[in-house]
Amino acid sequence: MTEKKQTYGASKIKVLEGLEAVRLRPAMFIGSTGKSGLHHLVYEVVDNAVDEALAGYCNLIEVSINKDGSVTVKDNGRGIPVDPHPVYKIPAVEVVVTKLHAGGKFDKGSYAISGGLHGVGISVVSALSKLMKVIVKRDGKIYQQEYKIGKPLYKLKVVGSTDKKDTGTEVTFYPDDNIFSNVKFDFSLLETRLREIAFLNKNVKIKLADEESNKREVFLYEGGIIEFVKWVNKTKDALHKPIYYTKQENGVIVECAVQYSAGYQENILGFVNTINTVEGGTHIIGFKTALTRAINDYANKNKLLKNGNLTGDDVREGLTAILSLKVPEPQFEGQTKTKLGNSEVKGIVDRITMISLSEFFEENPTIARRIVNKALEAEKARSAAKKAKDLVRRKNAFSIGGLPGKLADCSRKKSEETELYLVEGDSAGGSAKQARNKEFQAILPLKGKILNVEKASPAKVFSNEEIVNLITAIGTGVGDQFSLDKLRYSKIIIMTDADVDGAHIRTLLLTFFYRFMEPLINNGNLYIAVSPLYKVRKRKDHYVYSDKELKKVIEKLGSNVNVQRFKGLGEMNADQLWDTTMNPGTRLLNKVLIEDAVKADETFSKLMGTDVEPRKKFIAEKAHEAEVDV
């Protein structure tokens, strides 16, 4: 850390009011009141510490899950200002914690770069916590104040003294169980996000501890995103060392690491001020455009192309890229900050990427040719896939409206009122067709286990009849051709048997949707139906969804009960299937969401990819958690 003048004081805190709305509609501010929303509280506090790191004042962040259910986030930054606010006449720290849109992020002189731009972070955490304690070390003193659901319990007080060089902020909060459905923090979820932050902020040490389980992790990456791209590709067969470049233009710092693997999947992870922009934005568009142009320029110059220029899809097959930007005034779409909107950033990333990649290709011809050859192979596969798609399209043209012959469609035409059930096999398909409400529920039976798209080339994927039927029925297209406007159903529901085979089919389908229709997941259209494992009869029928629940039900009803184990959906009568799994009034549906794009990519590569060792290791580690299906 460099010595910098401490001009960060109360006058730098700008305010835009109101905390009541946070408790009234928490999901507007943190996404949900479930698991992801709970952990979002931690990220909001950590983001403040990261902003201090970005400003050059902090190199240590410590996060602790405490035995009493609280979380503590501690940093060695400058400490939140404690002098009286010029407008509110109360300590600046109290303003930051109790006023909704308050913070140094609104004052350009305090933070040139910031992730928590909206300034709602710590105040939202305070509003949704039954108790929060803030300790600030500044100017040789230790200050403390506590808050209950956003209101101070006492005035800011001095509780001790310390060395003047010893500065920082410590926040401990207890999430309100009246707001959150579950207040237990998940170590692995925090571990993933904190590792990500450490990759993006090289030389910042981040410690994570769970005092209950005594788990400990320390993240410190001197190589930054070069190490990040290698870590993402650790389960893949990399074709070359990572390509790395960083440049600055008009105050925007662009940092990028690129590495191709022998696989078929594209994985571009974009970050702006350490915020994961899962929905992309102008920076991703600029990167993709420049990458395609740079590879085509090199290939043309060296006479490597025979059939005209390569497409974006061709050059991105097998690509893993980490694109990390520092933008002084980012325009994020929504408080969840998942898409960058700054129009000027597209040109900046485009120019920097084009110059940097062109230079690298000239200096490293062996790697450049390897990348071009990979894209040429992809081009061949794409033309084979196109022929396969055209063949199936012509075949489908003979069925009604070009839709798959096996699809039992619904009568309603408005997509926002309809559902498509994906069902394994003709037996379950028959039961589902009898059980459904024909007005708004469509059924598509799938034959056995669909193709594992993680291992297959695009040509093989698009010549697979079951997958083509799936794409045709949904209507959106895939990849660059994907369009939500063409979605034929508002809910796509995976409905498989509650056994090992059913779980495998569900995983294969999830792999397909993640790799080829990710926007469908991001838009909240993909669901998993929860089907019962048992029917327990005593005077009336009780449907049970797990072995744990079965024990509880039997204990409650007495041991004189009749227990029937469902082997599959096809075994159920139509009325049973409707009551348990398809009736919107009584069914259980799990919405599929991507909590962390990096973790999702790693998991699919590990479980469904070609490398056996990581899969064996994962199974060995997780075996004790599995329930054996006999």
- Mean pLDDT on 117-130: 78
* pLDDT at position 556: 85
* Domain match, 204 and 271 both: no
Question: Which 8-state DSSP code applies to residue 592?
Answer: P
* Domain match, 158 and 273 both: no
Q: Tell me if residue 276 falls in helix, strand or coil.
A: strand
C-alpha of 92 from chain center: 34
- Give the highest mean pLDDT range of 291-300, 457-466, 475-484: 291-300
Model confidence pLDDT, tens digit, residues 237-268: 999 999 999 999 999 999 999 999 998 889 99
Model confidence pLDDT, tens digit, residues 153-169: 999 999 999 999 999 99
Please answer whether residues 32 and 112 qualify as being in contact, where contact means their C-beta atoms are separated by less than 8 angstroms: no
Give yes or no for residue 361 having a pLDDT over 90. yes
Please answer whether residues 259 and 236 qualify as being in contact, where contact means their C-beta atoms are separated by less than 8 angstroms: no
What is the b/e burial string over 126-141, where b = at least 16 CB atoms within 10 angstroms of the residue's CB?
Answer: bbbbbbbbbbbbbeee
- Between CA 614 and CA 607 the distance in angstroms is 8
Tokens representing residue 49 in the block: 């510490």
- Mean pLDDT on 80-93: 91
Picking from 9-18, 107-116, 416-425, which range would have the lowest pLDDT averaged per residue?
107-116
Q: What is the CATH number of the domain that holds 527?
A: 3.40.50.670
Q: Which of 354, 382, 410 is the last residue of a domain?
A: 382
Q: Which residue, among 450, 474, 456, has the nearest Cα to 523 in the 3D structure?
A: 474
Picking from 131-145, 516-530, 558-572, 597-611, which range would have the lowest pLDDT averaged per residue?
597-611
Please answer whether residues 75 and 169 qualify as being in contact, where contact means their C-beta atoms are separated by less than 8 angstroms: yes
In a domain, 282, yes or no: yes
Between residues 463 and 82, which one has the greater pLDDT? 82
Q: Which residue, among 101, 96, 99, 93, has the nearest Cα to 119 in the 3D structure?
A: 101
In a domain, 614, yes or no: no
Q: What percent of the chain is predicted at pLDDT more than 90?
A: 52
Q: At 113, is the pLDDT very low, low, confident or very high (cuts 50, 70, 90)?
A: low
Give yes or no for residue 622 having a pLDDT over 70. no
Q: What is the CATH number of the domain that holds 232?
A: 3.30.230.10
Q: Which of 167, 198, 219 is the last residue of a domain?
A: 219
* pLDDT at position 33: 87
Give yes or no for residue 184 having a pLDDT over 90. yes
* pLDDT at position 120: 54
Please answer whether residues 65 and 187 qualify as being in contact, where contact means their C-beta atoms are separated by less than 8 angstroms: yes
In a domain, 89, yes or no: yes
- Mean pLDDT on 427-452: 90
Between residues 108 and 37, which one has the greater pLDDT? 37
In a domain, 129, yes or no: yes
- Mean pLDDT on 286-311: 95
* pLDDT at position 428: 84
In a domain, 611, yes or no: no
Give yes or no for residue 629 having a pLDDT over 50. no
- Beta bridge pairs of residue 138: 141
In a domain, 623, yes or no: no
* Domain match, 281 and 408 both: no
* Domain match, 585 and 509 both: yes
* Domain match, 328 and 355 both: yes
Give yes or no for residue 291 having a pLDDT over 80. yes
* pLDDT at position 62: 98
Angle at 148 (CA atoms; ends 147, 149), nearest 5 degrees: 115
Give yes or no for residue 69 having a pLDDT over 90. yes
* pLDDT at position 121: 77
Residue 545, classified by CB atoms within 10 Å of its CB into exposed (0-12), middle (13-18) or buried (19+), is: middle
Give yes or no for residue 397 having a pLDDT over 70. no
Q: What is the CATH number of the domain that holds 117?
A: 3.30.565.10
What lies within 8 Å, CB to CB, of 287 at 6+ separation is: 256, 268, 270, 321, 323, 349, 350, 353
Between residues 324 and 600, which one has the greater pLDDT? 324
Please answer whether residues 431 and 577 qualify as being in contact, where contact means their C-beta atoms are separated by less than 8 angstroms: yes
Give yes or no for residue 118 having a pLDDT over 50. no
Number of domains in the chain: 4
* Domain match, 23 and 90 both: yes
- Give the highest mean pLDDT range of 115-119, 135-139, 531-535: 135-139
In a domain, 603, yes or no: no
210 is catalytic: no
* pLDDT at position 15: 52
Please answer whether residues 235 and 605 qualify as being in contact, where contact means their C-beta atoms are separated by less than 8 angstroms: yes
Domain that holds residue 169: 10-219
146, 249, 297, 499: the catalytic one is 499
Tokens representing residue 336 in the block: 């969840």
- Beta bridge pairs of residue 248: 253
Amino acid at 125: V
Please answer whether residues 49 and 169 qualify as being in contact, where contact means their C-beta atoms are separated by less than 8 angstroms: yes
Picking from 6-20, 90-104, 183-197, 493-507, which range would have the lowest pLDDT averaged per residue?
6-20
297, 501, 549, 596: the catalytic one is 501
* Domain match, 478 and 490 both: yes
Please answer whether residues 191 and 216 qualify as being in contact, where contact means their C-beta atoms are separated by less than 8 angstroms: no
* Domain match, 499 and 538 both: no
- Between CA 630 and CA 253 the distance in angstroms is 56
**Location of structure tokens 């089907």:** 531
Distances (CA, A) of 415 to 446, 474, 582: 22, 10, 18
How is the chain split among helix, strand and coil, in percent rounded to 5? Answer: 40, 20, 35
Please answer whether residues 506 and 528 qualify as being in contact, where contact means their C-beta atoms are separated by less than 8 angstroms: yes
Torsional sign, CA 598, 601, 605, 606: positive
Give yes or no for residue 507 having a pLDDT over 80. yes
* Domain match, 135 and 20 both: yes
- Between CA 120 and CA 114 the distance in angstroms is 13
Picking from 86-95, 332-341, 477-486, 516-525, which range would have the lowest pLDDT averaged per residue?
332-341
* pLDDT at position 522: 87
Model confidence pLDDT, tens digit, residues 7-40: 677 776 655 446 777 888 887 788 788 888 899 9
Give yes or no for residue 106 having a pLDDT over 80. no
Write down the H helix ranges in 302-364: 312-316, 343-363
* pLDDT at position 408: 92
Please answer whether residues 2 and 55 qualify as being in contact, where contact means their C-beta atoms are separated by less than 8 angstroms: no
Tokens representing residue 289 in the block: 């455009």
Q: Are strands 526-529 and 419-424 parallel, antiparallel or unpaired?
A: unpaired
Q: At 215, is the pLDDT very low, low, confident or very high (cuts 50, 70, 90)?
A: very high
Picking from 35-49, 105-119, 544-558, which range would have the lowest pLDDT averaged per residue?
105-119
Angle at 595 (CA atoms; ends 590, 600), nearest 5 degrees: 95
497, 518, 579, 602: the catalytic one is 497
* pLDDT at position 6: 56
Mean pLDDT, the chain, rounded, equals: 86
* pLDDT at position 392: 47
501 is catalytic: yes
- Neighbour tally for 394: CB within 10 Å: 10
Model confidence pLDDT, tens digit, residues 225-239: 999 999 999 888 999
- Between CA 361 and CA 354 the distance in angstroms is 11
- Between CA 252 and CA 153 the distance in angstroms is 42
Q: Tell me if residue 206 falls in helix, strand or coil.
A: strand
* pLDDT at position 13: 60
* Domain match, 361 and 442 both: no
Q: What is the reported pTM?
A: 0.72
Give yes or no for residue 218 having a pLDDT over 80. yes
Q: Tell me if residue 538 falls in helix, strand or coil.
A: strand
- Between CA 150 and CA 256 the distance in angstroms is 40
* Domain match, 524 and 541 both: no
Residue 238, classified by CB atoms within 10 Å of its CB into exposed (0-12), middle (13-18) or buried (19+), is: middle
* Domain match, 85 and 149 both: yes
- Give the highest mean pLDDT range of 64-68, 274-278, 536-540: 64-68
Give yes or no for residue 396 having a pLDDT over 50. no
Q: Which of 165, 190, 219 is the last residue of a domain?
A: 219
Q: At 398, is the pLDDT very low, low, confident or very high (cuts 50, 70, 90)?
A: very low
166 is catalytic: no
In a domain, 387, yes or no: no
Please answer whether residues 545 and 580 qualify as being in contact, where contact means their C-beta atoms are separated by less than 8 angstroms: no
Please answer whether residues 73 and 171 qualify as being in contact, where contact means their C-beta atoms are separated by less than 8 angstroms: yes
